[in-house]
Amino acid sequence: MPTGGAPQSDPGHTAALHADVTALLTGWTPTGPAAADARDRTLALLAAGPVAVTRAHRPGHVTASALVLDPGGDRVLLCLHGKFHRWVQLGGHCEPGDRTLAGAALREATEESGIEGLRIDPVPIDVDIHPVACQGDSLHYDVRFAVLAPAGAVERVSAESTALGWFPPDELPEPLAGGTRQLVAPALAALRRSPLRRVP
């Protein structure tokens, strides 16, 4: 998940995205106590206004990530991040043009995996807050989604990754980023509900 780049400044983008994130998290049923606490803290962050969805907000900002699954839920796609050298789900900062958080997560997953035709469940599977190096001492308020890869998908390593790999959900690689393992159960639950197969 990237940690660099220039701050966004498009007021239309930030206002629309801020409204989407606020509505999304306000109506979301958390997947566990830790996610509930992170959701409440993220809503408190959003009270700062649209700047909270941009990396210009030094106290912290909302990001989006995705755990990519194969069609049967037998494997998950992770990247060996080029900066902090741990295996992690795909994702990163919101960018100009992102009007929804699910759209941002899908864009990031597509860019970082090189796989076209990914499908996203627009209901989050987790929220996690963790420190990052971008903009000095800051926090990522990361909202995570489940994404389904098409059958026969072939991944391509991006500039942000050292490697990409498919792993069985119960055999994730090490070193693994904190918070990644906790995505597996809710992502598989989302797949069992089948919304990923229905989202165009």
Tens digits of per-residue pLDDT, 124-165?
Answer: 999 999 987 666 678 999 999 999 999 999 999 988 788 999
Q: Taking residues 99-128, report their average pLDDT.
A: 96
* Mean confidence (pLDDT) of the chain: 89
Among 159, 200, 196, which residue's Cα sits nearest to residue 66? Answer: 196
Dihedral pair phi/psi, residue 103, rounded to 5°: -65, -40
Specify the DSSP class assigned to residue 59: T
Check the CA dihedral 119-110-95-85 and report its sign: positive
What stretches of the chain show up as alpha helix (H) in DSSP?
Answer: 11-26, 33-46, 101-113, 184-193, 195-198
CA angle 113, 118, 122 (to 5 degrees): 115
- Determine which helix (DSSP H) or strand (DSSP E) holds 140, and give its type and residue range: strand 138-148
Most distant CA pair in the chain, distance: 43
Q: Report cis status (omega within 30 of 0) of the bond before 2.
A: no
Tens digits of per-residue pLDDT, 26-76?
Answer: 999 999 999 999 999 999 999 999 999 998 898 899 999 999 999 999 999
Among 75, 91, 96, which residue's Cα sits nearest to residue 148? Answer: 75
Q: Taking residues 95-111, report their average pLDDT.
A: 95
Instruction: Kindly report the pTM of this predicted structure.
Output: 0.90
Please tell me the distance from the alpha carbon of residue 56 to that of residue 58, in angstroms, as a whole number.
6
Can you read off the two tokens belonging to residue 177? 């980023």
Q: Taking residues 163-168, report their average pLDDT.
A: 97
Q: Taking residues 68-92, report their average pLDDT.
A: 93
